[in-house]
Amino acid sequence: MITSMKKKVYIETMGCQMNKLDSELVACHLKACGYEICDALPEAEVVIFNTCSVRQHAEEKVISKIGQLKKEHQQRPQLVVAVIGCMAQRLGQQLLDDYRQVDIVCGPGQLHHFSSMLAEVLDRRRQMLSLNDPQETDNLEILDSKRDTEEMDRPFSAFVRVMRGCNKYCHYCVVPYVRGPEQSRPIRHIVAETRRLAENGVKEITLLGQTVNSYRFKEGGKTWGLADVLSQIHDIEGLERIRFVTSYPRDFDERILRAMADLPRVCEYLHIPAQSGSNRILKAMNRNYSVEAYLDLIEKARELVPGITIAGDFIVGYCGETDADFLATKELMRKVRYKNCFIFKYSPRPGTRAAAKMADDVPEVIKKQRNTELLALQNEIAFEDNQKLVGLPVEILVEGASKKPHLDSTEEVAEADAECTINYYEAKNSDTIQLTGRTRGDQIAVFNGSSKLIGQIVKLKIVKASALTLFGEMQ
């Protein structure tokens, strides 16, 4: 336990929402132990990188950041450097051996030990390693259940983990190896945590799981699924919005869609990655569904949940992807009309089946070209669909002052959006700033208003739209 001057901790987070939640939980726990979280690395005495292994590029970035700290570490030998998350799990001892400036390596399933590891390192200056233990099943409950809303960056919106790990073993993906098998939390823990968060002012809950619709928990002679979680938390006082991410297209229980339709606080939004529009490639990826089944699910979702928005992920240039496969992906994108898509160029990840058994045979130049083409198509679709919202009312939860550029898809579009924002919105007086928030369908909307609106749900009329951003006026 730290008793003297508060040590400053800087946390940098890469990757998915699960990592964002882990960082928030670690930050809350460290604050409770007497540390202070700071925004700038140079003033920190403890630097934590919460890492992602899903793409090679993400790992390379962390290695470069660790490399940059070598000199800093020599000048400030008391500086503690910690690597947590998926890359910590994947590389383990190798990180400690290769980079002497790294003091702590801690896998994503061991974060409940992080504060004691840090105390030990500060006390004895020795390197420490803790990797996931498959026998430990409820270790993260310790962190999840102790979150203090006063310590959260956005006290009105919170992630709640419903499960962790993944059993799907898509051939390109490292997640099952670094996060372990699927483990669903007891439903009563999820309800209790959500209630506690709502009592402390949280209005929006996002239920998190790598394959969130696979949530299954057996208790009291019943198997509880995600639809049960949605209905159990729905009436908690103070909650206004409920979301869940990320969905896996196979085994999608229709009860979830019916819960979305019947429960007004559940937002009309589904993030459901397709990854490819070619059945041949889906098979090579071990995704275990067909394009037809995926489209049936989207059609059902649109039929049962009017106005639902769909977000997706695609990988281009996967092993063996031909021009015909890529055309099929574009065709799927045209049919679904996603709100937004995350599009990635395939890169083999060590330890996966694709890396071991399949040739990474699509040239980089083709991967880049397909990436650009697919992004352009997505932007065209999103731009067209967003124009249909101009003149309509939307309800947004105000998240904070607008940062520029707005969320990415391509740099050009982000820049165009930023330009549009600047031109369109010059704050008229010092009482108003440009604020940003999200609609129920997860679209980003910006408008001019008072910072007192942060954390509130407000109604806007959309007056202008780009592919990535809606521009509104308060009603």
Residues that bind ligand SF4 (CB under 6 A): 166, 168-170, 173, 175-176, 210-211, 248
Q: How far is the CB of 165 from ligand SF4 (least distance, A)?
A: 9
Q: Give the HSE-up count for residue 311: Cα atoms under 13 Å, Cβ half-sphere.
A: 19
CB of 106 to ligand SF4, least distance (A): 21
For residue 54, how many C-alpha atoms fall within 13 Å in the half-sphere facing its CB? Answer: 16
- Of the two residues 210 and 439, which places its CB atom closer to ligand SF4 in the complex? 210
CA distance 474 to 462: 9
> What is the phi-psi region of residue 307: left when phi exceeds 0, alpha when psi lies from -120 to 50, beta otherwise?
left
Q: Are 160 and 207 in contact (CB under 8 A)?
A: yes
Task: Write out the DSSP string of 179-208.
Answer: H-S-EEPPHHHHHHHHHHHHHTT--EEEEE
Neighbouring-strand partners of residue 310: 270
Closer CB to ligand SF4, 194 or 211, in the complex: 211
- DSSP three-state, residue 327: helix
CA angle 359, 364, 368 (to 5 degrees): 130
Least gap, CB of 286 to ligand SF4 (angstroms): 8
Nearer to ligand SF4, 249 or 455 (CB): 249
**Cβ-proximal residues to 244 (8 Å cutoff; 6+ apart), any chain:** 162, 206, 207, 208, 209, 212, 213, 226, 230
Name the phi and psi angles at 310, rounded to 5.
Answer: -120, 130
* Whether the Cβ atoms of residue 170 and residue 286 lie closer than 8 Å to each other: yes
Q: Which two tokens stand for residue 406?
A: 């707005």
* Residue 55 beta carbon to ligand SF4: minimum distance, rounded to whole angstroms: 12
Least distance in Å: CB of 119 to ligand SF4?
33
Tell me which DSSP letter residue 15 carries. S
Which two three-digit tokens encode residue 235?
């009436």
Q: Least distance from C-beta 175 to ligand SF4, angstroms? A: 4
CB of 347 to ligand SF4, least distance (A): 14
Q: Cβ 82 to ligand SF4, closest distance in Å?
A: 24
* Of residues 210 and 469, the one with the C-beta less far from ligand SF4: 210
Q: Closest CB to ligand SF4 among 155 and 320? A: 320
Measured from the CB of residue 250, what is the shortest distance to ligand SF4 in angstroms?
9
Which are the contacts of 427, defined by CB distance < 8 A and separation ≥ 6? Answer: 433, 434, 448
Minimal distance, residue 249 CB to ligand SF4, in Å:
9
Bridge-based pairing state of the strands 104-106 and 216-219: unpaired
**Which H helix or E strand runs over 394?**
strand 393-401
Report, in Å, the least distance between residue 16 CB and ligand SF4. 9
**Closer residue to ligand SF4 in complex, CB, 59/417:** 59
DSSP state of 41: G
Helix, strand, or coil here: 143?
helix
Residues 213, 205: Cα–Cα separation, whole Å: 16
Q: In the complex with ligand SF4, which residue's Cβ is closer, 173 or 420?
A: 173
Apex CA 432: angle with CA 431 and CA 437, to 5°?
Answer: 140
First-to-last CA distance in the chain? Answer: 50
The smaller minimum CB distance to ligand SF4, of residues 57 and 403, is found at: 57
| Token reading at 197 | 């968060």
The kind and range of the H/E element at 90 are helix 86-91
